[in-house]
Chains A and B, each alone.
Chain A
């Protein structure tokens, strides 16, 4: 284990999450629970995507988001790559004046003293083609390893963000591996309880899931069914957006579904290179429509 941790800060996986939640709650964030759908990243949670746009002048939230990227599965054999992992997501709108200091304080809260490590903010402009979103910022390196993304959103769903939100994303497994000093994600201590007393590692909890879901994602998922689900989600999304009073949130659920189904189809290898761009464009159109409907309705609600 790195020597810099102070003894009183627990470094098991669940304590890292609890400490991050406590830190950001102290900064005035609403601590939310994960969104109950498959998404590729914490950014997809409506608390980030939609709330980055109106109506709240101030919006601060922090939450863990389980993230699924079907093509990153490695049957539990790769020490760093999984098709299911956790992101800790923070969204602060407007971006605070002391945002970098707040972030560095959060590292202290989980036992990483920035004075004892080489912390770098390395230029990394972020773009999500499926969400029609982009921002400028950095990836944050700790002793040469990427541990977070730090982004000032400029646009979401093709709409200018005003005020500008700050998004922080911590890769929890990577961060925990570094803090615990383990080389393999499956060796992570989840609960701080000794194995002899029934304590669990990350592998105890998730290894079987990685093996089984890799098999499903790559080999067994019924592609005709997935294609059908994609079409259904796309049609339903469009229908909800076309209502006289569009239902932005339910429509956005369908958009998230379509995005994940596209990722599944991609993992199954049934989407050609040329089709890929078209699918991404279709999801982007849904996301754009949802963001516009969200803005429209919130504006009406605010004025009414």
Chain B
């Protein structure tokens, strides 16, 4: 289990938006971590906001995703070879890997693959970039040469997961205008 701290440092956030921004960030983090499968019954996300700092911390996050088995139903066992070949192609498995199983509708072929869960640390950056790109500010602006919109110019992004800073970049859309964090 690990803890996550996310901090966005910007110019002064309008007072009327601060409390809501903290709540929104916590909610978006919880929902993204739930989708990743690393959110636990005892995970807690808290959002905080000060004039120049919007942050959230989440506790008891799984350090990696659980392994998952993905099952895909194919054609019936007695289907024409062409149909089976098509399924093999789309599922990306060989004929030997298919298993047969009875269903109320007859005997079908199934492809099962085991997905190894990824490191949460590696999955966090795209999720945070997605939150940055879709944050529900009441009003947002561009600055400098960028196309990216935030409530006011965004200076820095700090992410700490499991005690270590995470490195990443946010494309501001203005060529050299890119925001870095960690190292």
- Which A positions have Cβ atoms within 8 angstroms of B? 94-97, 99-100, 121-123, 125, 135-136, 138, 152, 154, 162-164, 166
Contacts and interface: CB of A to CB of B under 8 A. Distances in A.
B153 interface: yes
B145 A135 contact: no
Contacts of B141: 135-136, 152, 154, 164
A181 B153 CA distance: 34
B14 A123 contact: yes
A164 B12 contact: no
A54 to B, nearest CB: 14
Contacts of A166: 143
Main secondary structure of the interface of B (DSSP, over half): loop
Nearest to B141: A136
Interface string B32-51: 00000000000000000001
B144 A164 contact: yes
Contacts of A164: 141-146
B143 A95 contact: yes
26 contacts: A94-B143, A94-B144, A94-B145, A95-B144, A96-B144, A99-B153, A100-B11, A121-B11, A121-B12, A121-B51, A122-B15, A123-B12, A123-B15, A123-B16, A136-B141, A136-B152, A138-B12, A152-B143, A154-B141, A154-B142, A162-B142, A162-B145, A163-B145, A163-B174, A164-B141, A164-B145
Nearest to B17: A123
Contacts, number: 49
A95 B12 contact: no
A97 to B, nearest CB: 7
A154 B17 CA distance: 20
Given A135-B141, A164-B142, A95 B14 contact: no
A100 B153 CA distance: 10
A154 B140 CA distance: 10
Contact of B144 (A122, A136, A154, A163): A163
Contacts of A154: 141-142
Interface string B127-148: 0000000000001111111100
B102 to A, nearest CB: 62
Interface in B102-160: 139-146, 152-153, 155
Contacts of B174: 163
A166 B140 CA distance: 15
A125 B151 CA distance: 12
A119 to B, nearest CB: 10
Contacts of A163: 144-145, 174
